Homo-oligomer: A and B are copies of this chain.
Amino acid sequence: MANSLQVYLDAIEESVQSFQLPKNPKGLYEPARYLLNIGGKRMRPVLTLMGCELFHTNYANAKDAALAVELFHNFSLVHDDIMDKAPLRRGKETVHKKWNENTAILCGDALLIEAYKLLCTYQPELSHQLLAIFNKTASEVCEGQHQDMDFETQKIVSIDEYIEMIRKKTAVLLGCSLKMGSIIGGASESEAEELYQFGVNLGLAFQLQDDLLDVYADQTKFGKQVGGDIIANKKTYLLLLAFQDANESQKNQLEQLLSETDLEKKVFEVKAIYKLLDIETKAHKKMQTIYSTALDSLNGLTVSEEKKKPLRNLAEFLMSREV
């Protein structure tokens, strides 16, 4: 019988907790431990374990790679939080707030290096294959983060540029997590690639869902402030689509709304334009199309349905947040 999600989550948690960071200097590694301990969904390392087990290999073999992915993710978070000047992460003080920016820079660097160490615990040939996809992904994540920052100051961003940015910043790491697991599991090159595409598209769909939730979520069920992206003038898929589809007068209205100081009015009126342009439906359709493409990749794999179940369940779970 297929393992439940909880089995994988427990394995990851055990792995994170028992992971030994170097002891000294304390001022460098305690912030790293703090960051790992505040948790998060652990979605990426779970994907690595599942990707491995899909090919009839005990997920325990993929634990180091899964942990590497989680450390890498935390490396990118701690540096992103400095750049975004974010005071909180998962409801707790960010590292650069609790300590300082210099410590946060070094803490991120150290986590990235620890991730590489973990990928080097495998046999040379296997390690080499893992590093190929990991290196490529690591560069793309940095590139995506840079593009995201760039967008803040750019007046015009196209839909294609936006999709490319979220692909790099968020989606490829899901693909990489799965692909590394599958390589350890013994997948063929084409199978590993198919699984990579599944992960990337799942990541894209998840991010579009995030954009939708920000505007249309039920406030009682949503962790953040509904309309937060609109208030912050964040260039989301919805806003960019609205600018693309709007007529001249609607475009002017949208542009004026960017500097509207009555925030309730701002959210209300931007949503009104979204309504006129059918943005919710269009964005939802796009999300569904990408999610279908993701599932096509999973369906295409010649592995028993029983084996696919954990991944299918996880995908459904991730996409089940009510919009």
Contact = CB atoms under 8 A, between A and B. Distances in A.
A98 interface: no
A138 B120 CA distance: 14
A142 B124 contact: no
Contacts of A114: 139
Interface in A69-114: 79, 82-83, 101-103, 105-106, 108-110, 112-114
Contact of A120 (B109, B131, B145): B131
Interface in A177-236: none
Give how many copies assemble into the complex: 2
B120 A25 contact: no
A162 interface: no
Interface stretch (A12-20, A146-154, A255-263): A146-154
Given A27-B150, A124-B125, A149-B102, A139 B112 contact: no
Contacts of A22: 139, 143
Given A25-B147, A145-B106, A120 B135 contact: yes
B146 A25 contact: yes
A127 interface: yes
A139 B113 contact: yes
Secondary structure at the A interface, as helix, strand, loop or mixed, is helix
A24 interface: yes
29 contacts: A24-B143, A25-B143, A27-B146, A28-B142, A82-B101, A83-B105, A103-B146, A105-B105, A106-B142, A108-B109, A109-B109, A109-B142, A110-B142, A110-B143, A112-B112, A113-B138, A113-B139, A114-B139, A116-B131, A116-B135, A117-B139, A120-B128, A120-B131, A120-B132, A120-B135, A124-B124, A125-B125, A127-B131, A128-B128
Interface of A: 22, 24-25, 27-28, 79, 82-83, 101-103, 105-106, 108-110, 112-114, 116-117, 120, 124-125, 127-128, 131-132, 135, 138-139, 142-143, 145-147, 149-150
Given A110-B143, A113-B135, A113-B139, 18 more contacts: A24-B143, A25-B150, A28-B146, A79-B109, A83-B102, A105-B105, A108-B109, A110-B139, A110-B142, A112-B112, A116-B131, A120-B131, A120-B132, A120-B135, A124-B125, A124-B127, A125-B125, A128-B128
